[in-house]
Amino acid sequence: DVAGRSFLVTGANSGIGKATAKEIARRGGTVHLVCRNKERAQVAKEEIVTETGNQNILLHIVDVSDPKEIWNFAEKFKNEHKLNVLINNAGCMVNNRELTEDGLEKNFATNTLGTYILTMALLPLLEKAADARVITVSSGGMLVQKLNISDLQSSNGTFDGTMVYAQNKRQQVVLTEQWAKAHRNVHFSVMHPGWADTPAVRSSMPDFYQKMKNTLRTEAQGADTVVWLAVSAEATKLPSGLFFQDRQPVPTHLPLASTHSPPEDEEKLMEMLEEFSQKFKATSPG
């Protein structure tokens, strides 16, 4: 029972995000749904309220690929709400190199920079809360990637959406480890939901989906570890900064893989994201 606690879930109108929001709503939590598409978000909100009987479901329309929009949202949110748990679930896998209005490569803007800015902007609020947690939904795909800070926006060489996504998911693991070191009074974790039958998998990985559709997890199964990390007492007994699958901490590198990066690269990633982040903060109104 998490009545009285407040949760924010990004990408909450479908897939694992919606399944997570629904499970937390069932347990009585106040749930803030952060979604990009107003119509779909409204439908998801009504479904969650109807199925759980929980009226404390709030909707915020934010495009997490737009840094200025995230900053503005976070500033406003901090003045109006409390927050115990942030769940960074929104993500995208765009298979061709697309740029946002700010000239950012779309996968990077959504998966890495958006996650970074939202978390950093809400940290002051989380640090005031009891038993504060940040959970980021990554992917086992990151195991094939070594952190590459020389080309954050994938502008060199052939663009491979699946590999760019995997690189972003590696970056999320590094972010989580770095945050855990720097912010001791918030519990950070990152996780692989397993391969679930979600709209995102169907649209961005059609071949994989066709081949695997009979063995994929349901959305609720994919959300299980997210919910466990968000609500259980056991999760926070484990150290902050770990990577989880099926409620267990698992290694972030495969045996014998050369995916380890030097600490200075990881620190440099944080510096570069902070620079990006401040650039967009400076230009936002007010």
pLDDT of 64: 98
CATH topology of domain 6-279: Rossmann fold (3.40.50)
Q: What residues does each domain of the chain span?
A: 6-279
Give residue 103's region: left, alpha or beta (phi > 0; psi -120 to 50). Answer: left
In one-letter notation, the amino acid at residue 56 is: N
pLDDT of 223: 96
71, 165, 228, 276: the catalytic one is 165
Q: Which of 87, 99, 105 is nearest to 21 (CA)?
A: 87
Active site residue 165: yes
Q: Residue-wise pLDDT tens for the chain (286 aa)?
A: 999 999 999 999 999 999 999 999 999 999 999 999 999 999 999 999 999 999 999 999 999 999 999 999 999 999 999 999 999 999 999 999 999 999 999 999 999 999 999 999 999 999 999 999 999 999 999 999 999 999 999 999 999 999 999 999 999 999 999 999 999 999 999 999 987 777 777 887 788 778 878 878 888 999 999 999 999 999 999 999 999 999 999 999 999 899 999 999 999 999 999 999 999 996 555 4
CB 236 within 8 A of CB 133: yes
Sequence-ordered alpha helix ranges (H) in the chain: 15-26, 38-52, 67-80, 106-107, 114-126, 161-182, 199-204, 206-212, 219-231, 263-282
